Structure 1
Amino acid sequence: MATADQVKALIRSHGEGDDTRFYSIALQVAAKAARSGQAHFAQELRDLVDAHRASTAGGGRQNARPVPVARPRGELADLLGVTYPTTRMADLSLEPEVRHRLERVVLEQRQQDRLREHGFTPLQRLLLIGPPGTGKTMTARSLAGELRLPLFTIRLDTLITKMMGETAAKLRLVFDALAETKGVYLFDEVDALAGERARSNDVGEIRRVLNSFLQFLDQQESDSLLIAASNHPQLLDRALFRRFDLVVAYPLPTPEVSRTVVRNRLATMSPKKWAWGAIDEAAAGLSHAEITVACELAAKEAILSGQQHVTPAALVAALRDRRNMAHEDR
């Protein structure tokens, strides 16, 4: 049967006229009933949802944007930022293996009702790891865009406080929201929250916060997609990895991926002839984001000089500047 939180969420979404959220919560109730052996009730509830969706679908063209949910209010407004991305998977330049794994996530999310009917849950908890600028945050945006869901970004700077009890209470607020409002929830730079407990310079409060985070992950029951991202996976507690359905490692781009990034960003100002040998050499070791920035610098230089195309020499120079800057930072 429905939990107290789900009943409250149903009433709230009905009062706000948010049909998408109302149906989502109703299907969550049906899925829980099916897992509890109440197959007949679960099927009746699904049929009701399908019937009402069909009766309202003929009212005109459906808006491509997701129906806006109520924005976080009160203390939750300080913990969650919400956007409605339009980015899609096709907009990303990724390694084939990474793309394949993310496309599987999209497929399972879109077919989650079929999976739940057979007692399986879709991939719901993703851990994205890799160097900065390799596409982890953009992946969260793209998944939200593909699934037409809001993207909620957890603000760790306001989540983590000096008082452990306060942090755990705020975490509970976030996970309650995750269960109540379907969306993509991003814990970016999660190593700030889930660092290795065995570190000698750690303090007891941080360890207890991590334990709370792990418990909330274990107890999560919702249709939302939870994504955690880290630039420093070596700092993460080992127990965290077991809590995720899928761990995706993002490498620095290969020459082939680098060329795709360059072509996409300079599509309207591409050189008449590419000097790929020099470009590949200059881009080696740079992240997707750094290559993008270099392309933009070269393009703006061409525009301000009155040119219609970026020259290979200008692009190579911009890439080398970014590589020098990256080496200085390291």
Structure 2
Amino acid sequence: MRLGTTDWQESRQRREGLKVGLPAGPETHDSLTSGAESCSALRAFDGSGRGLGVQSKDVVATADQVKALIRSHADGDDTRFYAIAMQVAAQAARSGHGKFAQELRELVDQVKARAKATEPVRGPKPVPLAQPRGELAGLLTVSYPKTRVSDMALPAALRTRLDRVLTEQRERDRLRQHGFSPMRKLLLVGPPGTGKTMTAAALAGELGLPLFSIQLDGLITKYMGETAAKLRVVFDAIQATRGVYLFDEFDALGGERGSKNDVGEIRRVLNSFLQFLEQDDSDSLVLGATNHVGLLDRALFRRFDAVLEYALPTQEIATRVMRDRLALLDTSSVDWSAAAHAADGLSHAEIAMACEQAAKNAILDHTTTVRDAELVAALEERRSTHA
């Protein structure tokens, strides 16, 4: 079959691969554009599949440029890919094909903008695996807990709220795409030993984050007159390194401003803390823990996303704590109802310590059986200490 002039030229271009005006056909076009969105910059066909009107005798992209485009795409070098595509556009413009050149430039700009919009948000630097250094070393301590929420004996309502915090943290990027922020500023209130500190450890363990602890009362005492400046250092760390930051003994700065027992230092520290907390927009979780919620300044509450209340365990929860703590020993002789009654009024921590004492007694007696009387006696001893 005899080929026309244009057909002969295109056939020769395919064989020699020296210079191509546009991709020789849909097959060539697809081979250049498959596998990566960035290659859409080479889509030089309109909706009908026809070319943009550039004749084969005109030079738009050399064979070397096409090979360089494919090579840069294979190497994942988007910067070079875009640069070569822009060279092709400039060459097309010089050859009198302004429409094609403009469309190619627009395609490159669209792809670059789309890539920028979908790239992962740059967050704080990776979690460090070392102790705080310099000034921070005297302000906080760090640990890497493996605790899980499932390790805690909690009321169902509190467990549900903690699960919600974790869900929002794990889906924080999705929430932000829709204009919302995840819960991350939490105030934990309740009697000593009811699980506030363990909650901080569990959140850190669940999210794979370090737990940074700040003892506010010690901070104020140690750095009298400089506490506000030291808090600035801590909040700079909160911004720089994602983690769970626990401000323990929170009532140390939470007193009502203007009360008769107020001192100037506490008032300055509280004002600074409120300001830093309000301005903080980091990815870290900031937790305040207090045993005396009634002492807190009301202005503190509205700075937190949620207030989680902890209470002394019910008999049901107390039984769960004891069973968990003694799970590796034989407890078949334990009257759980009597033990739960003996645990009434004790905190989770005190019950755990009583269980530990009963377990040690069994081990030292060369047995793995926890006797009912031993457990009840240990609980009553903790109660007398508590009283």
TM-score tier by shorter-chain length is: 0.7 to 0.9
If the length of structure 1 is used for normalisation, what is the TM-score? 0.78
- Secondary structure at 1:272 match in 2: coil
* Equivalent AA in structure 2 for residue 173 of structure 1: V
Residue 99 of structure 1 corresponds to which residue in structure 2?
A: 159
Q: Does 1:47 pair with 2:114?
A: no
Over residues 24-74 of structure 1, what are the superposed CA-to-partner deviations in whole Å (9 max), with x where a residue is unaligned? xxxxxxxxxxxxxxxx99974463339xxxxxxxxxxxxxxx953554221
Over residues 157-179 of structure 1, what are the superposed CA-to-partner deviations in whole Å (9 max), with x where a residue is unaligned? 55325776511111111111101
Residue 281 of structure 1 corresponds to which residue in structure 2?
A: 341
Higher-Rg structure is: 2
- The 5-angstrom pairing of residues 131-142 of structure 1 reads 131-142=191-202
Gaps of 5+ in 1: 1-39, 51-65
Over residues 188-246 of structure 1, what are the superposed CA-to-partner deviations in whole Å (9 max), with x where a residue is unaligned? 11111222223212112211211111111111110000001001111111111111000
CA contact (8 A) 1:151 1:185 kept: yes
CA contact (8 A) 2:139 2:219 kept: yes
Q: CA deviation at 1:156?
A: 2.6
* Equivalent AA in structure 1 for residue 298 of structure 2: R
Looking at structure 2, the residues matched to 113 and 203 of structure 1 have their Cα atoms a distance apart, in angstroms, of 42
Aligned residues: 273
CA contact (8 A) 2:243 2:285 kept: yes
Over residues 280-315 of structure 1, what are the superposed CA-to-partner deviations in whole Å (9 max), with x where a residue is unaligned? 210000000000000000010111111221011110
Q: 1:273 to 1:78 in 2, by over 3 A?
A: same
* Equivalent AA in structure 2 for residue 112 of structure 1: R
CA contact (8 A) 2:318 2:340 kept: yes
Q: 1:82 to 1:45 in 2, by over 3 A?
A: farther
Compare relative contact order (CA 8 Å, sep 6+) and give the higher one, 1 or 2.
1
Residue 169 of structure 1 corresponds to which residue in structure 2?
A: 229
Of 141, 150, 154, 1:90 maps to 150
For the aligned residue pairs, the C-alpha RMSD in angstroms reads: 2.0
Q: CA deviation at 1:102?
A: 0.5
Looking at structure 1, the residues matched to 283 and 257 of structure 2 have their Cα atoms a distance apart, in angstroms, of 30
Q: 1:69 to 1:296 in 2, by over 3 A?
A: closer
Residue 213 of structure 1 corresponds to which residue in structure 2?
A: 273
Q: 1:288 to 1:96 in 2, by over 3 A?
A: same
Gaps of 5+ in 2: 1-110
Residue 332 of structure 2 corresponds to which residue in structure 1?
A: 272
Looking at structure 2, the residues matched to 210 and 43 of structure 1 have their Cα atoms a distance apart, in angstroms, of 45
Seq. identity, %: 62
Q: 1:157 to 1:205 in 2, by over 3 A?
A: closer
Looking at structure 2, the residues matched to 155 and 67 of structure 1 have their Cα atoms a distance apart, in angstroms, of 21
- Secondary structure at 2:212 match in 1: strand
Of 290, 307, 313, 1:230 maps to 290
- The 5-angstrom pairing of residues 179-190 of structure 1 reads 179-190=239-250
CA contact (8 A) 1:81 1:155 kept: no
Q: Does 1:128 pair with 2:188?
A: yes
Looking at structure 1, the residues matched to 237 and 223 of structure 2 have their Cα atoms a distance apart, in angstroms, of 22
Looking at structure 1, the residues matched to 223 and 359 of structure 2 have their Cα atoms a distance apart, in angstroms, of 49
* Equivalent AA in structure 2 for residue 48 of structure 1: E
